[in-house]
Amino acid sequence: MNLKSDEISSLDKTFRSNLINSLLGPKSITLIGTISGSGISNLALFSQVFHVGANPPLLGVLFRPDSVPRHTLTNIRDTGCFTLQNVTRNYFRQAHQTSARYPEPVSEFEAVGLEEEYTEEFAAPFVKEASVKLALKKVEEIRIQSNDTVLIVGEIVRIIAPMQAIEKDGFIDPLKSGSIASAGLDAYYNVQALARLKYAKPDQK
């Protein structure tokens, strides 16, 4: 396949969506937990989450246009906080099912069978089944003009992770945390270690 702009834009809509969404290969997949002003919890699956910085610890989450109700974004705007957790092979089917459009006031936690968990000082719900759990405060909201998407930058204010998955140098091993990858809109993958490589220097091969 070798397609130029005009050929890409004339592709069948579903084909194009699957193609464009799978161009980056395996990618991270996470669950974002929020709560509405009236106390309804929400859980949603996101693959557009990325590292923004280590100090202060920041992550970015991209939200699609506001053409349909987006409870996660609304809740983050209303409460200023959210949780983010890994998806493991033990509950990726439930995680995927959170994408269904449940009518208000159904919580995705109850609908898909994942358990919500709270810490005393933080409003948003964690997923009890997750092994890596983060609490984040919204610190910035940016509109991307090109297609009216919204980027939320969150500061990590709590990290919960299993000690046995953390290497001496701070690296969380996904084989031990159970974190899986996704691709496209609906594919899920276990990972198999190839290697951890040394810090690259010019005089190495």
Q: Which lies closer to a second copy via its Cβ, residue 37 or residue 71?
A: 71
Q: How far is the CB of 142 from a second copy (least distance, A)?
A: 6
Alpha-carbon distance 166 to 54, whole Å? 17
Q: Which lies closer to a second copy via its Cβ, residue 20 or residue 37?
A: 20
Q: How far is the CB of 69 from a second copy (least distance, A)?
A: 14
Q: How far is the CB of 28 from a second copy (least distance, A)?
A: 4
Q: Are 150 and 63 in contact (CB under 8 A)?
A: yes
> Please, what is the end-to-end C-alpha distance for the chain in angstroms?
33
Q: How far is the CB of 91 from a second copy (least distance, A)?
A: 12
Residue 20's SS3 state is helix
Q: Are 191 and 174 in contact (CB under 8 A)?
A: yes
Provide the token pair at 88. Answer: 């493991």
Q: Are 82 and 92 in contact (CB under 8 A)?
A: no
Q: Which lies closer to a second copy via its Cβ, residue 79 or residue 99?
A: 99
The upper half-sphere exposure of residue 41, i.e. CA atoms within 13 Å in the direction of its Cβ, equals: 22
Q: Which lies closer to a second copy via its Cβ, residue 34 or residue 177?
A: 177
